[in-house]
Amino acid sequence: MNPNLESDLLRTLIAIADTNNFTRASEIVGRTQSAVSVQMKKLEDIVEEKLFERGPRGVELTRAGEKLAKDARRIISLLDQASASLRSEPLNGIVRVGIPEEYGGTVLPEVLSRFSKLHPNVEVTVRCGPTSELNAELDRGDLDLAVVHEEIAKANGEVLFNDPVVWITSDEHFQHECSPLPVAIYDRGCWWRDWAIAHLDQREREYRIAYISNSPFGLQAAASSGIAVAILAQSQIPAGCRELTAEEGFPRLQGTNMVLRQRTQNTCDARLGMAQAIREAFHAPVEHSKVA
- Residue 191: closest CA among 228, 154, 137: 154
| CATH for 120 | 3.40.190.10
- Residue 257: closest CA among 152, 166, 110: 152
How many domains, in total, are found in the chain?
Answer: 3
Q: Do 146 and 276 have their domain in common?
A: yes
Tell me whether residue 1 is in a domain: no
pLDDT tens-place string over residues 250-278 = 888 877 888 898 876 656 778 888 888 89
Last residue of a domain, one of 84, 102, 120: 84
Q: Do 175 and 243 have their domain in common?
A: yes
Tell me whether residue 126 is in a domain: yes
Tell me whether residue 242 is in a domain: yes
Q: Give the pLDDT score at 286.
A: 37
Tell me whether residue 133 is in a domain: yes
Q: Do 173 and 251 have their domain in common?
A: yes
The answer on pLDDT for 237 being more than 70 is yes
Listed range (68-82, 103-117, 130-144, 190-204) with the worst mean pLDDT: 68-82
Measured distance CA(238)–CA(170) in Å, rounded = 9
Q: Do 142 and 273 have their domain in common?
A: yes
pLDDT tens-place string over residues 141-192 = 899 999 998 877 666 678 888 888 899 999 988 889 898 999 998 886 677 8
Rg of the chain over all Cα atoms, to the nearest angstrom = 20
The answer on pLDDT for 35 being more than 70 is yes
Q: Do 154 and 262 have their domain in common?
A: yes
Q: Give the pLDDT score at 234.
A: 86
Average pLDDT, the chain: 84
Q: Give the pLDDT score at 124.
A: 93
Tell me whether residue 2 is in a domain: no
Q: Do 175 and 246 have their domain in common?
A: yes
The answer on pLDDT for 289 being more than 50 is no
| Partners of residue 232 on adjacent β-strands | 166
Tell me whether residue 131 is in a domain: yes
Q: Which domain holds residue 45?
A: 7-84
Q: Do 154 and 261 have their domain in common?
A: yes
Tell me whether residue 134 is in a domain: yes
Q: pTM score, two decimals?
A: 0.61
Q: Give the pLDDT score at 208.
A: 94
Q: Do 261 and 219 have their domain in common?
A: no
| Partners of residue 197 on adjacent β-strands | none
Tell me whether residue 292 is in a domain: no
Q: Do 240 and 172 have their domain in common?
A: yes
Q: Do 239 and 172 have their domain in common?
A: yes
Last residue of a domain, one of 60, 84, 108: 84
Q: Give the pLDDT score at 18.
A: 82
- Residue 61: closest CA among 11, 26, 29, 14: 14
Q: Give the pLDDT score at 203.
A: 86
Q: Do 149 and 266 have their domain in common?
A: yes
- Residue 96: closest CA among 156, 25, 146, 39: 146
Q: How confident is the model at residue 46 (pLDDT cuts 50, 70, 90)?
A: very high
| CATH for 28 | 1.10.10.10
Measured CA distances, 276 to 41, 115, 160, 207, 229 (Å)? 28, 8, 11, 44, 37
The answer on pLDDT for 230 being more than 90 is yes
Q: Do 174 and 128 have their domain in common?
A: no
Last residue of a domain, one of 34, 58, 84: 84
pLDDT tens-place string over residues 75-110 = 887 777 666 666 545 667 889 999 988 888 888 888
Listed range (25-29, 87-91, 191-195, 245-249) with the worst mean pLDDT: 87-91
Q: What is the DSSP string of 132-151?
A: HHHHHHHHHTS-SEEEEEEE
